[in-house]
Amino acid sequence: MQVAMVSVVVSLTASLTLGITAAYFKGKWDFAVGRIIDVAQALPGIVLLIALLSVFGRSVTSIGVVLGIASGITGSRVIRGAAYAVTAQPFVEVAKTVGCSPWRIMLRHVTPNVVPIALVLGTINVGAAIVAEASLSFIGYGVQPPTPSWGGMLSADGRPFMVIAPWLFWAPVIALALVVFSINIFGDALRDRLDPRLRGSR
């Protein structure tokens, strides 16, 4: 959970920064951001994470930052698409006409309109970060003991004891499943709540 919280903060910061600036400035910067996203999506996720963790270390903060950067880069494509639609609106043109600076327009006019999408994306990333950290811990590349990890509880060191104490297997599996399922359901409800097209529906 600590890894997921760090990851979602880094992820939202990265995706909002890259997505909004790419949609606003367009041109070469938009092209560069698009290629960065393509490279991040082309590389196998687990291999990329292991390579980054070998550089930054395997503390809770390091794993959260690495997962956040990886998910933030790929998630910026969604923010970029939403920001493109906002930058085409008349109120953005009016703000440019009256002399507002690009950073003021992005902060005051574009960002508030893409925040609902970013929040939903953040809830999805929380569940993905929990599963990713559990996967890394299961193969021995996650947080190190004595820091507890659900993936670490399922690793090879504990398997001999699961035969005589099966709850050592079922407890972390059920905890993982319930937390990730609950967060995904919360994200789905948040999307329905914040989507103006569904406003007023039960």
The mean pLDDT of the chain is: 81
Average pLDDT of the segment spanning 64-70:
84
pLDDT digits (tens, 9 = 90+) for 20-42: 898 888 888 889 988 888 888 78
* Predicted TM-score of the model (pTM): 0.78
Expressed as residue numbers, the domain containing 152 is 2-198
- On the question of pLDDT at 200 being above 60, the answer is no
Instruction: With beta carbons less than 8 A apart as the criterion, state whether 16 and 111 touch.
Output: yes
pLDDT at residue 1, rounded to an integer: 81
pLDDT over 90 for what percent of the chain?
Answer: 0
Could you give the CA distance from residue 62 to residue 76 in angstroms, rounded to a whole number?
A: 21
Indicate which CATH number applies to the domain containing 168.
1.10.3720.10
Question: How many distinct structural domains can be found in the chain?
Answer: 1
